[in-house]
Amino acid sequence: MGTVVTNIKRADRAAADALARYGVATVHEAQGRAGLMAPRMRPIYRGARISGTAVTATVTPGDNWMIHVAAEQCQEGDILVVAPTSTSESGFFGDLLGTLLQARGVRGLIIDGGCRDVADLEAMGFPVWSRCISAHGTVKETIGDVNLPISCGEQLVNPGDVIVADDDGVVVVPRLAAADVARKSQQREQREAGIRARYAAGELGLDMNNMRPRLAEKGLRYVDQADLDLG
Amino acid sequence: MGTVVTNIKRADRAAADALARYGVATVHEAQGRAGLMAPRMRPIYRGARISGTAVTATVTPGDNWMIHVAAEQCQEGDILVVAPTSTSESGFFGDLLGTLLQARGVRGLIIDGGCRDVADLEAMGFPVWSRCISAHGTVKETIGDVNLPISCGEQLVNPGDVIVADDDGVVVVPRLAAADVARKSQQREQREAGIRARYAAGELGLDMNNMRPRLAEKGLRYVDQADLDLG
Amino acid sequence: MGTVVTNIKRADRAAADALARYGVATVHEAQGRAGLMAPRMRPIYRGARISGTAVTATVTPGDNWMIHVAAEQCQEGDILVVAPTSTSESGFFGDLLGTLLQARGVRGLIIDGGCRDVADLEAMGFPVWSRCISAHGTVKETIGDVNLPISCGEQLVNPGDVIVADDDGVVVVPRLAAADVARKSQQREQREAGIRARYAAGELGLDMNNMRPRLAEKGLRYVDQADLDLG
Amino acid sequence: MGTVVTNIKRADRAAADALARYGVATVHEAQGRAGLMAPRMRPIYRGARISGTAVTATVTPGDNWMIHVAAEQCQEGDILVVAPTSTSESGFFGDLLGTLLQARGVRGLIIDGGCRDVADLEAMGFPVWSRCISAHGTVKETIGDVNLPISCGEQLVNPGDVIVADDDGVVVVPRLAAADVARKSQQREQREAGIRARYAAGELGLDMNNMRPRLAEKGLRYVDQADLDLG
Amino acid sequence: MGTVVTNIKRADRAAADALARYGVATVHEAQGRAGLMAPRMRPIYRGARISGTAVTATVTPGDNWMIHVAAEQCQEGDILVVAPTSTSESGFFGDLLGTLLQARGVRGLIIDGGCRDVADLEAMGFPVWSRCISAHGTVKETIGDVNLPISCGEQLVNPGDVIVADDDGVVVVPRLAAADVARKSQQREQREAGIRARYAAGELGLDMNNMRPRLAEKGLRYVDQADLDLG
Amino acid sequence: MGTVVTNIKRADRAAADALARYGVATVHEAQGRAGLMAPRMRPIYRGARISGTAVTATVTPGDNWMIHVAAEQCQEGDILVVAPTSTSESGFFGDLLGTLLQARGVRGLIIDGGCRDVADLEAMGFPVWSRCISAHGTVKETIGDVNLPISCGEQLVNPGDVIVADDDGVVVVPRLAAADVARKSQQREQREAGIRARYAAGELGLDMNNMRPRLAEKGLRYVDQADLDLG
């Protein structure tokens, strides 16, 4: 406890920025269904979609001191990712800290604890994904770490990784994988556009992907309800 | 496992369609306070109100294959109802499957698991009631059943039953009871209009329903706070 | 069980009304981080902010009879606060009772149970903070208490206390503390305005509050990532 | 609401009795991984293992009246299965009702609500699997159904089905499948005995089931940590 | 915040001691189904049953300082009741504090937070009912209150009230009601002994309490399954 | 996905073994209150206390294939640590896999998912700490990783780290810190022995640690209840 790592390596800026375009669900698929935070991590308001490079911090339950320390390590294009060392539903973050981070070019906050001032944060356009909404204030007594690897939302986050967050949740992309995942996300999106058109035209996935033989092989059988009723 | 029941009997179309008019709370009361799914079944966006006939399906945790199989059994006016065989917060359903179902005239999805692409689903007007929002993708490896009775949202759903869903949640109406429940819902709504007018005019339920004698009989007593303070 | 306390002393009206201006997070801080209900108490729709004097009631699981009894004790400027005697997710409250309370000048409802008709309640502008949204109807068979101290949302509420509720949650202010808390809230808000301006201008909390010496004293140390990698 | 079905068909007694021998995990596998209740259904004490035929009942939140009605429909070898119509953590069942059921030869209770008097129930050897332990008493005001299909622990239960319950949870076996599932359970147990012996002797599942080629085909690759560190 | 109330009035010692005899479920019924804490309040080991007079304390999340302050206010026959001001799963209490309290004659702890050293506490026979088991340590930085009314386990507790706790949970008996509740508990237990004997002899509650006419009046009807199948 | 890291560096054996002596709460304190898994990670039976070196694995929801792959990487003195890539309450592990691991000298399992066959596992003395107990079987279709860093129980675990687990939960000690933490744990235990003796003799923490001046400085004040009543 008590280490602040400075001058962290960040993911390539262009790749980090590009990932917001594809959204959480596509990025999560594109990197092989890895890195998705638990569904309890919800946006405090709907409609935001961001990506950026992670600055990580740990806080102790009911204590938000390290967010101030972490803020200094943040720069334009970062997303701050905060995990309490034990379950805590305190409101670690509000519109004042939102103002401070926004002034530094931080794009949003991911916190596995509570957030408050949610109406103000929405009004100022600073998005937060949190475990809960809670107005319960915190103290400034105990130190933690900044920019060490952490577990947040039940996922491992390394400083400099890319975070993508939208109405579907939050996904972590490893620092060195960002460009590759961006490329695969784009490919996936193109492929999905084709599928969407065929589905919209009434085609079934059963036919489009030739699923019937494999389903039959697994033992799937069709029974008319009338015959079932006789059974 | 592995049975698809075809040609199911559905509730009367007119009755099934009519129930959306009354909404979940009224329908639930009209059928004697039965059939309401657990409160964890929440709409992915606010403001939708639908009713339709149930096509049912089971999936295994983390596997959405059977949604493709079920889609073929759906027709205009249906609502797809999906239950995992064990608790799972994977994102079984997204905008591609939403497109497929919408093209078949399906009015919405009820799933006791996760849903993703919620911003896209809202934009295209395909409502979903789900256990959670989760972008976590699924595989296509294991078969389940379509159109057998299932337990979804802690309620029993038979294929062909009517589903009503709105901002209050999801309620199941047995197939053969639909017309009767629609009639009772209308009566209830008329009665409530009268009550609402009297409440709006300042009348108390205590007086309107003559509750005072029965409350007194149960032992209710009134004490002035000043006397209580002396006690 | 079965006591209705009448003619309760209420907090000073002007102080009670003033507290809505500051919101839950500020009021909670201003009174020393006390009185905040648990985060499960959520508004049924976003954007409402109210304050008022508490009328309290207990109900038994699945039974909303006492809300009718409590309604008679409510007057202009009150907020009704209801707690079931045991966990219950029934829908104790809907638009009919909302109409009745609104006609009496009640500003909103706080209930540690379920609420239904949420679309109607939003349309009529009657805000509710509840444990869940549930259409499950209730009976009228069992009596409880009105205007005795209760535990709601894991906080103690005395009749006549001030309730403040907004998108951040619900906070309770003791009856006799209202004026003092209003004054402190205003001071806090002024102080925060100054902090916000300095944060917006790019100043760090570390500098503004001279945190660095105390952090160092606690043992915080800074390490360049390059040196860490060598370790 | 309000129907008691009498003279229900029950699963074959010998088959129903035999299933306790194999336990929940084996039975669940033997019938194709179906019918397992949600993990929240836990035994009030450890070490019991029972099987028997289901008598089903619904109760309303906070009301245990129908357990008395259901008791009359129970006979030697039955297990009573009770589901509230909406989430309720009241203590619907205690040692008095346990005495009543035990006198009728009922082997245990499955209830998707609360249970009380757990020390007494353990002392008298009447096992219960419940959603929670709660001493909160209930009223007798509202009727429900007995021996209609219900959803309990997120599974469908038909009257006459076989229930198997032990420290692992609760599983439902359809009435007509009991004998077949008993046979498959026995086969599975024999097969597992062989596997256990080989595992105990140090053999790996990778080798015993020839998993390596299929894992390689899926893309599994082995990397020495020393090489990873160089990466 | 920051008030310690000394020389509190306690419930009559004999009455407080007597209540352990009857247990939580009986006491809860005897006082009209009031005062039961939420089911999440569970014993850290099974088999303890205690009653005693409450000393109350509030702590802040992650901070156990006030337990030391409260300990000084405890005397022989007390039970310490602790509530965090916001949800916290830290381990506020372990075997050292257990030793301290036991030395003062305190009979147990009720805490709406985490407890640790549970094996040691069981070995030394100091029972705790807590929200969870957690080894997460706490700091000593923030003050709270001792012997003011608190909300713990979703119930109101006044200093000097009687606490009864066993395997069924925790119930609060108001200070001045203790003797009356003890008397009613004894009566209830005698009545239950008679009922138990009749149930054990095979009598039904339906007959013993003459429930059949009232059930019929509510609309309960009996249908033979054979007739139902024809329907 | 799909990487198995072989020949991992493990913590010093003697240090890893020594940590079981001190238990989770002491070790957690000794390393500065870090590394404790979430309280949902509970032992399937009480009384086990183990420490060992971590082999890590990820599985996909409802799929336990990678446990077979991980088993081969385990050796005498290891503890297997498994995390699903998304919340899953399937029963990934039972007595067969327990036999396999026990034969390799593995001391126990930590899994952020379900475990089954708990009675058998207790009988054979193979301890498991899991998210839940669930008999729900799993498939073998999807690959994951072995011996990469994972997030389990909301903590970061690196392969080769030391795991300590007992009735209080599970704590992770970084590989290179094991010897230092063992030393500090021993010191802490000695210090605690002294404190315990003084507490047992009736001394207060207030006096022993000279807390009174600092409490007074924070504003703590003592009020006799008689004076409070006059207020």
Angstroms from E165 CA to nearest CA on chain A = 26
Does the distance separating the beta carbons of C8 and B218 come in below 8 Å? no
Handedness of CA D123, D126, D132, D136 (dihedral sign): negative
Does the distance separating the beta carbons of F135 and D36 come in below 8 Å? yes
Residue B5 has pLDDT above 60, yes or no: yes
For each of chain F's 231 residues, which pLDDT tens digit applies?
799 999 999 999 999 999 999 999 999 999 999 999 999 999 999 999 999 999 999 999 899 999 999 999 999 999 999 999 888 889 999 999 999 999 999 999 999 999 999 999 999 999 999 999 999 999 999 999 999 999 999 999 999 999 999 999 999 999 999 999 999 999 999 999 999 999 999 999 999 999 999 999 999 999 999 998 644
Q: Could you identify the residue written with the tokens 């053969």?
A: B176
Angstroms from C24 CA to nearest CA on chain A = 7
Residue type, B225: Q
B115, B126 Cβ separation under 8 angstroms: no
Kind plus residue range of the DSSP H or E element containing A184: helix A178-200
Decide: residue F201, CB within 10 A, 0-12 exposed, 13-18 middle, 19+ buried.
exposed
Residue C206 has pLDDT above 70, yes or no: yes
pLDDT band at E229 (very low <50, low <70, confident <90, very high): low
B103, B124 Cβ separation under 8 angstroms: no
The answer to whether B149 contacts chain D (CB < 8 Å) is: yes
SS3 D1: coil
What are C150-167's pLDDT values in tens digits? Answer: 999 999 999 999 999 999
Indicate whether this complex's ipTM tops 0.90: yes
pLDDT score for F103: 98
How far is the C-alpha of B192 from the C-alpha of E96, rounded, in Å? 61
Query: E151 contacts in C (CB within 8 Å)?
Result: 151, 154-156
Does the distance separating the beta carbons of D88 and C60 come in below 8 Å? no
How far is the C-alpha of B69 from the C-alpha of B64, rounded, in Å? 10
pLDDT score for A37: 96
pLDDT score for D88: 84
The answer to whether C169 contacts chain A (CB < 8 Å) is: yes
What are B95-121's pLDDT values in tens digits? Answer: 999 999 999 999 999 999 999 999 999
Closest chain C residue to A139, measured at CA? C33
Q: Could you identify the residue written with the tokens 């979609």?
A: A49
Does the distance separating the beta carbons of D135 and E24 come in below 8 Å? yes
SS3 C137: coil
Residue E149 has pLDDT above 60, yes or no: yes
Closest chain F residue to B90, measured at CA? F86
D192, F94 Cβ separation under 8 angstroms: no
pLDDT score for D229: 64
Residue of F88, F134, F230 for testing the chain B interface, max B β-carbons within 10 Å: F88
B-C contacts (CB, under 8 Å): 115
Helices (H), ranges, chain E: 13-18, 23-30, 65-73, 95-103, 118-124, 178-200, 205-208, 212-218, 225-230
pLDDT score for F9: 97
How far is C-alpha C158 from the geometric centre of its chain's CA atoms?
A: 13
Query: F1 contacts in B (CB within 8 Å)?
Result: none
What are C58-76's pLDDT values in tens digits? Answer: 999 899 999 999 999 999 9
Kind plus residue range of the DSSP H or E element containing E133: strand E128-133
The beta-carbon neighbor of F100 closest among D25, D166, D199 is D199
Among D144, B136, E171, smallest CA distance to F84 is for B136
What are C163-184's pLDDT values in tens digits? Answer: 999 999 999 999 999 999 999 9
Angstroms from C35 CA to nearest CA on chain B = 23
pLDDT band at A1 (very low <50, low <70, confident <90, very high): confident
How far is the C-alpha of D153 from the C-alpha of D112, rounded, in Å? 6
Among C85, C90, C19, smallest CA distance to C51 is for C19
C133, C44 Cβ separation under 8 angstroms: yes
Angstroms from F224 CA to nearest CA on chain D = 35
Angstroms from F97 CA to nearest CA on chain E = 28
Q: What is the percent of chain E with per-residue pLDDT over 70, rounded to a whole number?
A: 99
pLDDT score for D228: 84
The beta-carbon neighbor of B155 closest among D32, D60, D151 is D151
What are B168-187's pLDDT values in tens digits? Answer: 999 999 999 999 999 999 99
Angstroms from C134 CA to nearest CA on chain B = 5
The beta-carbon neighbor of B141 closest among F89, F90, F139 is F139
The answer to whether E96 contacts chain F (CB < 8 Å) is: yes
Residue C220 has pLDDT above 50, yes or no: yes
Angstroms from A99 CA to nearest CA on chain C = 6
How far is the C-alpha of C7 from the C-alpha of C147, rounded, in Å? 9
pTM: 0.95
What are B117-145's pLDDT values in tens digits? Answer: 999 999 999 999 999 999 999 999 999 99
The answer to whether C86 contacts chain D (CB < 8 Å) is: yes
Query: E228 contacts in D (CB within 8 Å)?
Result: 5
Residue A231 has pLDDT above 90, yes or no: no
A95-103 and A65-73 helices, crossing angle to 10°: 10
pLDDT score for E212: 97
What are D108-128's pLDDT values in tens digits? Answer: 999 999 999 999 999 999 999
Write the CA distances from F129 to D208, F42, F46, F118, integer angstroms.
27, 5, 10, 11
Q: Where are the beta strands (DSSP E) in B7-161?
A: 42-43, 50-59, 78-84, 91-93, 109-115, 128-133, 150-152, 155-157
For residue C114, give both structure tokens. Answer: 């379920």
What are E52-95's pLDDT values in tens digits? Answer: 999 999 999 899 999 999 999 999 999 999 999 888 889 999 99
Residue C6 has pLDDT above 60, yes or no: yes
Decide: residue D225, CB within 10 A, 0-12 exposed, 13-18 middle, 19+ buried.
middle
pLDDT score for F88: 85
For residue E4, give both structure tokens. Answer: 């310690």
What's the distance, Cα to Cα, between the start and end of chain D in Å? 67
Does the distance separating the beta carbons of D225 and F65 come in below 8 Å? no
**Per-residue DSSP letters for E164-224?**
EEETTEEEEE-GGGHHHHHHHHHHHHHHHHHHHHHHHTT--HHHHTT-HHHHHHHT-EEEE
pLDDT score for B89: 87
How far is the C-alpha of C210 from the C-alpha of F109, rounded, in Å? 47
Query: A46 contacts in B (CB within 8 Å)?
Result: 119
pLDDT score for D192: 96
pLDDT score for A229: 64
Could you count the other beta carbons within 10 Å of the beta carbon of residue C13?
A: 13
Write the CA distances from B195 to A86, A150, B31, C121, E216, integer angstroms.
50, 57, 20, 16, 30
Residue B86 has pLDDT above 60, yes or no: yes
Does the distance separating the beta carbons of C141 and D139 come in below 8 Å? yes
D114, D92 Cβ separation under 8 angstroms: yes
Kind plus residue range of the DSSP H or E element containing A223: strand A221-224
Does the distance separating the beta carbons of C119 and B47 come in below 8 Å? yes
Does the distance separating the beta carbons of C169 and A119 come in below 8 Å? no
Does the distance separating the beta carbons of C112 and E154 come in below 8 Å? yes
Residues 46-75 of D with CB under 8 A from C: 60-63
Chains that touch F (3 or more CB pairs under 8 A): A, B, D, E
Residue A202 has pLDDT above 80, yes or no: yes
How far is the C-alpha of A27 from the C-alpha of A34, rounded, in Å? 9
pLDDT score for B231: 43
Decide: residue C227, CB within 10 A, 0-12 exposed, 13-18 middle, 19+ buried.
exposed
Residue D231 has pLDDT above 80, yes or no: no
The answer to whether A3 contacts chain C (CB < 8 Å) is: yes
Residue C229 has pLDDT above 80, yes or no: no
Residues 115-144 of F with CB under 8 A from B: 134, 136, 139, 141-142
Residue of E53, E68, E106 for testing the chain F interface, max F β-carbons within 10 Å: E68
Residue of F64, F65, F87 for testing the chain B interface, max B β-carbons within 10 Å: F87
pLDDT score for A228: 83
Query: E116 contacts in F (CB within 8 Å)?
Result: 24-25, 168
The shares of helix, strand and coil residues in chain A, as percent rounded to the nearest 5, are 35, 30, 35
How far is the C-alpha of B13 from the C-alpha of A225, rounded, in Å? 19
Residue A116 has pLDDT above 60, yes or no: yes
C178-200 and A95-103 helices, crossing angle to 10°: 10
pLDDT score for E87: 83
C-D contacts (CB, under 8 Å): 48
How far is the C-alpha of A119 from the C-alpha of A122, rounded, in Å? 5
How far is the C-alpha of D107 from the C-alpha of B32, rounded, in Å? 32
Among C50, C52, C53, C64, smallest CA distance to C96 is for C64
